[in-house]
Amino acid sequence: MSSGIGASVKRKEDKRFTTGKGKYTDDVRNDNQAYAAFVRSPHAHARVKGIDTSAAMAMDGVIDVLNGQQLTGDGIGNIICGWAITSKDGSPMNMGAWSALATEKVRYVGDAVAVVIAETQALARIAAEAVDVDYEELPVAASVLTSMKDGAPQIHENAPGNQIYDWELGDEAAADAGLASATHITSLDLTNNRLSPNPMEPRSAVAKYDDAEDHYTLYTTSQNPHVARLVLSAFYNVAPEHKLRVIAPDVGGGFGAKIYIYPEEITCLWASMKTNRSVKWTSDRSEAFITDAHGRDHVTSAKMGFDDAGKIVGFKVDTIANIGAYMSLFSSSVPTYLYAPLLSGQYNIQNIHCNVRTYYTNTVPVDAYRGAGRPEATYLVERMMETAAREMGMDPAELRRRNFIQEFPHQTPVLMQYDAGDFPKILEMAQETADVAGFPARRAEAEARGKLRGIGYSTFIEACGLAPSKAAGSLGAGVGLWESAEVRVNPVGSIEILTGSHSHGQGHETTFAQVVADRFGVPIENVQIVHGDTDKVQFGMGTYGSRSGPVGMSAVAKALDKVEAKVRKIAAHALEASEDDIVIEGGEVKVAGTDKSMAWHEVGLAAYIAHNLPEGMEPGLKESAFFDPVNFSFPSGAFICEVEVDPDTGTTEIVQFTSADDFGTIINPMIVEGQVHGGVTQGIGQALLEQVVYDEDGQLLNGSYMDYTMPRAADVPSFHVQHHETPSPNNPLGVKGCGEAGAIGSPPAVINAITDAIGTNDLAMPATPQAVWRAIQAGAKSVAAE
Partner 1 sequence: MTSINMNVNGKAVSGDVPDETLLSEFLREHLRLTGTHIGCDTSQCGACVVHIDGKAVKSCSTLAVSLEGAEVTTIEGLANGDLHPMQVAFNDNHGLQCGFCTPGMIMSGVDMVKRYKAEGKDLTSDAIRAELEGNICRCTGYHNIVKSIEDAAAKM
Q: How far is the CB of 386 from partner 1 (least distance, A)?
A: 23
Separation between Cα atoms, residue 496 and residue 624, nearest integer Å: 12
Distance CA 682, CA 765 (A): 13
Provide Rg for the chain, Cα atoms.
27
| Residue 528: count of CB within 10 angstroms of its CB | 17
Largest CA distance in the chain: 89
For partner 1, the closer CB: 221 or 431: 221
CB of 293 vs partner 1, minimal distance in Å: 15
Q: Of 266 and 687, which CB lies nearer to partner 1 in the complex structure?
A: 687
Residue 68 and residue 74: Cα distance in Å, rounded? Answer: 10
Task: Quote the least distance from Cβ 310 to partner 1, whole Å.
Answer: 34
Q: Are 322 and 366 in contact (CB under 8 A)?
A: yes
Partner residues linked to 411 by β-bridges: 417
CA dist 295 and 260 (Å) reads 13
Separation of alpha carbons 460 and 589, rounded Å: 44
Residue 15 or 47: the one with the smaller Cβ distance to partner 1 is: 15
Least Å distance, CB 674 to partner 1, is 5
- Smallest gap, in angstroms, from Cβ of residue 142 to partner 1? 24
Beta-strand relationship, 720-723 and 652-662:
parallel
Pick 20 or 393: Cβ nearer partner 1: 20
Residue 597 vs 709, nearer CB to partner 1: 709
CA contacts within 13 A on the Cβ side of 502: 35
Cβ-based nearer residue to partner 1, 465 or 679: 679
Pick between residue 17 and residue 398 the one whose CB is nearest to partner 1: 17
Smallest gap from Cβ 510 to partner 1, in A, equals 10
Which DSSP state fits 22? Answer: -
Name the residue nearer to partner 1 (CB basis): 29 or 449.
29
Give the integer Cα–Cα distance in Å for 737 and 546. Answer: 5
Query: Interface residues with partner 1 (CB under 8 A)?
Result: 10-11, 13-24, 26-27, 29, 122, 198-202, 250-253, 255, 284-286, 504-507, 670-671, 673-674, 677-682, 704-706, 710-714, 716, 718-719, 742
Signed CA dihedral, 252, 258, 264, 267: sign only? positive
Neighbours of 452 (CB within 10 A): 25
To the nearest whole angstrom, how small is the minimum distance from the Cβ of residue 542 to partner 1? 15
Residue 421 or residue 742: which is nearer to partner 1 going by CB?
Answer: 742
Task: Provide, rounded to whole angstroms, the least separation between the CB of residue 415 and partner 1.
Answer: 32
DSSP state of 42: S
Spatial distance between the Cα atoms of 388 and 382, rounded to a whole number of angstroms: 10
Q: Are 776 and 647 in contact (CB under 8 A)?
A: yes
Pair 693, 702: CB distance under 8 Å: yes
* 561 burial via Cβ count (<10 Å: 0-12, 13-18, 19+): middle
| C-alpha dist (Å) from residue 151 to 140, 148, 164, 360, 746 | 11, 9, 16, 14, 39
By beta-carbon proximity to partner 1, the closer residue of 66 and 251 is: 251
Least distance from partner 1 to the Cβ atom of residue 677, Å: 3
Q: Smallest gap, in angstroms, from Cβ of residue 655 to partner 1?
A: 13
